[in-house]
Structure 1
Amino acid sequence: MTDTETDRTPATAEGEKRPFDLGTGPGRVLVWFYGVFTVAAASRSIVQMILDFGRAPLAYLLSAVAAAVYGFITYSLVRGGERARRTALVCCAAELAGVLIVGTWTLVEPSAFADATVWSYCGRDYLFIPVILPVTGMMWLRRARTV
């Protein structure tokens, strides 16, 4: 049996935990938000890189990195299983670090960015959802481990 099959096989013995489906309940809301942010960040970065990459390459590449992280977390939440949960947890932590680092950088040295990124000012242009989303995701993923 592969790891994926093991992750998804219901426990049969009494007292064993059943695998937790990451994309159910509040997890569905996270999947939706991460999916929307994947499209938003990817669209923004692609358009910016096509139209004027030379103007702010760092900002546009950071938006592309954000899109990739969001996409991977979305995939992990949909896929489910313990390995996907652990991977998504690491990605959420990396996402939060990115938001805080880039957000702080844009506050301390705004001239370093000729244009905004998804994570600029801790996601101010996106209603601060980029800083709220990984915290919420990590809370959900940690809860999923204990169920």
Structure 2
Amino acid sequence: MTETDTTSGSASGQKARFELGTGPGRVLVWFYGVFTVAAASRSIVQMILAFGRAPLAYVLSAVAALVYGFITYSLVRGGEKARRTALVCCAAELAGVLLVGTWTLVEPSAFADATVWSYLGRDYLFIPVILPVTGMIWLRRAKNV
């Protein structure tokens, strides 16, 4: 269903929401959901067991989990406002991945422990750097539908 379709085919003239979590968006929802759980679990365990060892790294993993969770919610919610919000969050996520990833490549000793975004997401098969790019492509495409 596109934004130009009516909700029930009637003459009501109301525009239906484009469902961001359908088609390829469903795969994004799945990946973002899995990464929400992975980043949150990692950061919670690390903060409980050894927060003093690498607080910046563990807080960054928690921030990643929050960003992933918000993008997941936006994709599931759908609609133009959620699409725009998710697009901004994907751009912020990509900036974070590039910043932290580059920082860890240039100065490996900068963090006492790895984050989800360290080395551009190497510990997660580089999905943290691929996911926001894919998300932004999908969200930009969804605008034109």
Give the TM-score of the pair, scaled to structure 2: 0.91
Identity among equivalent positions (%) equals 88
Counterparts of 2:140 and 2:72 in 1: how far apart (Å)? 16
> Which range is displaced more, 68-77 or 108-117?
108-117
Structure 2 residue 70 is matched with structure 1 residue 72: yes
Distance in 2 between residues matched to 1:82 and 1:130, nearest whole Å: 24
Aligned-residue CA RMSD in angstroms?
Answer: 2.0
Structure 1 regions of 5+ residues with no counterpart? 1-8
What amino acid is aligned across from residue 87 of structure 1 in structure 2?
T
How many corresponding residue pairs? 139
Q: Does 1:37 align with 2:35?
A: yes
| 2:138 counterpart letter in structure 1 | W
Could you say which residue in structure 1 is the equivalent of 2:20?
Answer: 22
Moved over 6 A (4+): none
Tell me what 1:132 maps to.
Answer: 130
Secondary structure, counterpart of 1:72 in structure 2: helix
What residue number does 2:101 align with?
A: 103
1:28-60 deviation per Cα after TM superposition (whole angstroms, max 9, x unaligned): 000000000000000000000000000000000
1:40 and 1:70 map into 2 onto residues whose CA distance is 10
SS in 2 for 1:114: coil
Task: Report matched runs for 1:48-127 at 5 Å.
Answer: 48-127=46-125
Q: What is the CA–CA distance in structure 2 between the aligned matches of 1:55 and 1:19, rounded to whole Å? A: 46
Counterpart CA distance in 2 for 1:83 and 1:12 is 24
Partners of 1:66 and 1:57 in 2: CA distance: 14
**Partner residue of 2:3?**
none
